[in-house]
């Protein structure tokens, strides 16, 4: 994980890799999966909600107390790696811009939250 601080990308020190949730009911928690080549799989990186309007929350399993999972408004990069037997996929980096202030107005929220995927982490 990286955070953009005063125009400089800072890598999280001592970050611990954590499993993410499969999306759309595709399994529970840390359930093992047989990955089929060229089939799309979906996961939940995180969420924003009106319950915690100023936080972007990573949906990791299990939740670690020694590592933050709630992020204030800012710019972040999260590296996601798929691991397993006979799996050779390059990592992907998800860049998140979160301006804070989640409301029930979807059009308003679309202006406050951006996600893009790149092949490389910040330089």
- 57 lies in which domain range? 2-118
**Tokens read off for 4:** 């953009």
Q: What are the pLDDT tens digits along the chain (123 aa)?
A: 999 999 999 999 888 887 777 776 554 555 566 767 777 777 888 899 999 999 999 887 777 777 888 999 999 999 998 877 777 788 999 999 999 999 999 999 999 999 999 999 998
Number of folded domains in the chain? 1
Task: Tell whether 92 is covered by a domain.
Answer: yes
| 19, 28 Cβ separation under 8 angstroms | no
For the chain, percent helix, then strand, then coil, each to nearest 5?
5, 35, 65
In this prediction, residue 91 carries a pLDDT of 92
Task: Tell whether 34 is covered by a domain.
Answer: yes
Task: Tell whether 75 is covered by a domain.
Answer: yes
Task: Tell whether 11 is covered by a domain.
Answer: yes
Q: What is the pTM of this model?
A: 0.82
Cβ neighbours around 69 below 10 Å, total: 15
Task: Tell whether 123 is covered by a domain.
Answer: no
**Tokens read off for 8:** 């400089």
Task: Tell whether 102 is covered by a domain.
Answer: yes
């Amino acid at each position: 994980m990286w955070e953009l601080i005063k125009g400089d990308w800072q890598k999280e020190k001592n970050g611990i890799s954590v499993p993410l949730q499969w999306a759309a009911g595709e399994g529970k928690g840390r359930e093992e999966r047989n990955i089929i080549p060229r089939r799309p799989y979906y996961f939940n990186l995180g969420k924003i909600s009106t319950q915690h309007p100023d936080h972007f929350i990573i949906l990791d399993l299990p939740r670690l107390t020694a590592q933050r999972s709630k992020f204030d408004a800012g710019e972040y990069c999260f590296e996601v790696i798929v691991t397993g037997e006979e799996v050779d996929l390059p990592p992907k980096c998800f860049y998140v811009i979160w301006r804070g202030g989640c409301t029930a107005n979807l059009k308003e929220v679309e202006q406050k939250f951006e996600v893009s995927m790149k092949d490389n982490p910040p330089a």
